[in-house]
Structure 1
Amino acid sequence: MRIVVAGGTGFIGGFLIPKLSAAKHQLVILSRNREPSPTRISSPVVANTEAGVTTEWWNGTSVGRWAETIDGADAVINLAGESIADKRWTRARKLDLLNSRIFPTRSIVEAIRRARKRPSVLVNASAVGYYGSVETGDVRETHPKGYDFLASLCARWEDEARAAETFGVRVVRLRFGIILDKEGGALKKLLPPFRLFAGGWLGSGRQWFPWVHRDDVIGMIIYALENGAISGPVNVAGPEAVTMKEFCRALGKVLKRPCWAPVPGFVLRVALGELSGMLLTGQKVVPRKALDAGYTFQHPSLTPALEAIFPPGST
């Protein structure tokens, strides 16, 4: 397939691009850097046209020459968006988080509209934050959206992607859980206190922690590309539901570190402001559509998933 990827140089894209390239797909990465800095994917894969991977500059806000890459493409993957948890959620930061998702997605859909030969599928990132805080009960794809900032952000992002359905494109909205990998995401931020023997859960520890191994994020993106029966919202979270306390205890066990120093909720609220809500609340997410569609999770259980990330001697 010829696949256009927006956000292909980010955390997830860094693992997805080599996987797609190894499968002999022809890839175009939309990059906001005219001269992308070296990363694990731009050297040598992104720079190597013989590997079937090229880059095209775009500004992420308007339709330009890059839109020609959409015309005739088989699929588009949209991972564009600034990291949710990198900075405190000031008013300006919230606007950045929103705009970095809305405008790229809107411009992609506009490019699809203009294309003479449109892609058959748009796989668009989202997050389980769509549901807001849900204390009890299973959360499946039919669950209504929440009411906090993150829920609103995800809903608006998904609405922009859904517009492509008007043009006959299959749209898959992957609602990612908390992605586990030591190279980035929430796990990377949780590691330092554990390595200093001061690890612990956040808040009460009773909130649900909808984790997913990075391999299954990549696996589900590829499965959504190849499986024409999948459309609409899809939860991408590990089948084994755990609480924050259970997660931290499992992490401590795998790292051979104690889990004894919980961080009180009020401390997080003072330190992080509204962002703390993302850490102190959660949902018992069930990947119902993925399982029903036949996707087999590579890491269905938490402790083996953590052991795959931290094999013996790697901590």
Structure 2
Amino acid sequence: MNILITGATGLIGSHLCKHLANHHKLMVLTRKKEKAFTILGHHVNAFETLEDIDFNQLDIVINLAGEPIADKRWSKAQKQKIESSRWHITEQISDKINEADNPPHTFISGSAIGYYGRQTEPVDEQHNQPFDEYSHYLCKQWETLAKKAQSDKTRVCILRTGVVLAKHGGALKKMVPPFQFCLGGPIADGKQQMSWIHINDMVNIILFLIENESLSGVFNATAPNPVSNNQFSESLSETLEKPNFFRMPEFVLRLMFGEMADLLVFGQAVKPKALQDADFKFHFPHLKPALENILGGR
């Protein structure tokens, strides 16, 4: 099949391309072709603008583009960058799909569990009382723009992704070093829930949605067993065989990151009910085996 991927050089996209490359024709949207070829190889077709892509020739579009949300303090300029990097490309794709006479049959578009905002009880896709804060505002508009592509010819799948765990990049790239220097520990009171997913399961979810063409709508891309930040820190400490007693106080996070600290201080236990109802099988449903698989060779 002909598959277009945005955000292909990112953590999820680069892993996904490795699985799709041998069986499909891949097209990637990128700002820098040479970077894409270096990361993904020259077997992909790289484009710098959607105007150069004929959507009548596409079977699937996978939209994973977006400025990292937790890398910097949320200044007004940074929020605009975060928003435009998601909303603009998603709106463009939906418009291109709607304009095509023979549009792609599948549009898989990224979102995040930030859609739910902070929660104190477990939530799944049917939860309809999100906490009204910036992460919800960002994800709601992102999803709304993607859903514009839904039609009799095109199904839309929305992925509300949790914390993706991988050996190179992602959240563990920031979490592991403090533990390696014996400076690791929980964040704030450590009671906040963390909804995570192993990179292999993340990729397999996308492959599962590609293969099961009857599926559409919202899917929580999270492992079925979320943990508290205290539990996460303990498991990471045990896996790395390093101590776990340097707690990061909330006020320090507020000084460092401002409003963005909300992502670290508050959490939610997000359940992947829609995927489990569709009989998707997680290879890593529990955190400790997932961390051992990822970090065991360190």
Q: What is the TM-score with the length of structure 1 in the denominator?
A: 0.91
| Alignment match of 2:46 (pick from 44, 55, 72) | 55
Count matched residues: 297
1:33 corresponds to: 32
Distance 1:37 1:169 in 2: 28
> What is the SS of the residue equivalent to 1:71?
helix
Q: RMSD of aligned C-alpha atoms?
A: 1.3
* Letter aligned with residue 139 of structure 1: V
Is residue 81–residue 97 contact of structure 1 (8 Å, CA) maintained in 2?
A: yes
| In the alignment, structure 1 residue 189 sits paired with structure 2 residue 174 | yes
- Secondary structure class of the residue paired with 2:3: strand
Is contact 2:36–2:46 with CA below 8 Å preserved after alignment? no
The residue number in structure 2 matching 1:8 is 8
2:138 corresponding residue in structure 1: 153
Task: Classify 1:57/1:167 alpha carbon distance in 2 versus 1 (closer, same or farther; 3 Å).
Answer: farther
Q: Is the 1:209–1:282 Cα contact (8 Å) retained in structure 2?
A: yes
Deviates further, 121-130 or 220-229: 220-229
Identity %: 37
- Name the CA shift for 1:124/1:273 in 2 (closer, same or farther; >3 Å): same
Residue of structure 2 in register with 1:140 after alignment: 124
What secondary structure, in the 3-state scheme, does the structure 2 residue paired with 1:249 have?
Answer: helix
Q: Distance in 2 between matches of 1:282 and 1:133?
A: 5
Query: Is contact 1:229–1:293 with CA below 8 Å preserved after alignment?
Result: no
Q: Distance in 2 between matches of 1:121 and 1:20?
A: 15
Letter of the structure 1 residue corresponding to residue 28 of structure 2: I
Asked if the contact 2:156/2:216 (under 8 Å) is kept, the reply is: yes
Structure 2: gaps of 5 or more residues: none
Runs of 4+ deviating beyond 6 Å: none
How many Å apart are 1:167 and its aligned residue?
6.0
Alignment match, 1:207: 192
Q: Find the counterpart in structure 2 of residue 18 from structure 1.
A: 18
Q: 1:50-89, aligned counterparts within 5 Å?
A: 53-58=44-49, 64-66=51-53, 68=54, 70-89=55-74
Which AA in structure 2 matches 1:133?
Answer: R
Amino acid at match of 2:4: V
Asked if 2 retains the 8 angstrom alpha-carbon contact of 1:202 and 1:280, the reply is yes
Partner Cα separation in structure 2 for residue 8 and residue 146 of structure 1 = 31
Aligned to 1:165: 150
1:169-192, CA deviations, whole angstroms, 9 ceiling, x for partnerless residues? 110000001011131122111111
Gap runs ≥5 in structure 1:
none
The 5 Å alignment of 1:89-100 reads 89-100=74-85
SS at match of 1:87: coil
Measured at CA, do residues 167 and 153 of structure 1 come closer, stay the same or move farther in structure 2, by a change above 3 Å? farther
Q: Distance in 2 between matches of 1:29 and 1:9?
A: 9
- TM-score, normalising length from structure 2? 0.96
Offset of residue 38 of structure 1: 5.1
